[in-house]
Structure 1
């Protein structure tokens, strides 16, 4: 009888701990990864566009076990990838540019952990693929941006899949 009770308790503990342990495995703290700077040769992993040629915030995503990031020429592409139902790879870190500290037309540097940011959706500012999600490390900068350019401020976890439709920019660009 003691063996059955002990097995039951171990099984129950394993069931309770499994979700917590699984969550730990899905994301490694961003502090263990350092963002890399983009240059003239850095291209978007989704479409091959050179990142330095286009306005708006850029992003980089590190998958566990890889030393080089996957680059995105727009934050919409980043969130579209992260929120895709088929996305099962373990994410080590995600970085975006702080648009409160860098130039919108030629953004350089000022990377921060995306999960800590404030985002503006629906502004009048255009990124490389049309409408963009502006990224900020400080709420005050995001609020100032909303006052000037419109849109609404969100936190990282508030951005949902239906907000990051990729059919807007590239499909309607007659110059491509």
Structure 2
């Protein structure tokens, strides 16, 4: 299996001349105005929307912006080549470690669900997230799920650890 930058998945990730060349090709392909910075529209049109739609996802503009904000370290509203390079390096390192991959997936899912950004998922947020992804649950099913994984005594919301419990038990979208 080959990664985004053309590395076989069993290879140890090392940033070298070949990877830098492929990285520059990827970045330059996304940077349509050739100003050395990736904008929301470039990423939306060239990467996230196309790739995610092929995977059966339909990201909203706010989800795409939230994703970009995580890469945009200087907060200028764009992703520089250096910011993108550092993100790719981190991503490649994470992909080599199953626990880090799971942690990243949990973090992304949690952020996507946590609409009000308070660090907890309400039943309403969780239900909306599942419904948008084709797994609608009835209110009583969500309530039972929250009660089953509750670790902190608050059965009205999930924290990240409780969400991980739901995911690892395969309780979402499986009968």
* TM-score bin (small chain): under 0.3
**Which structure carries more strand by proportion?**
1
Q: TM-score, normalised by structure 1?
A: 0.28
**Which structure carries more helix by proportion?**
2
Q: Which has the larger radius of gyration?
A: 1
Larger relative contact order (Cα-Cα within 8 Å, sequence gap ≥ 6): 1
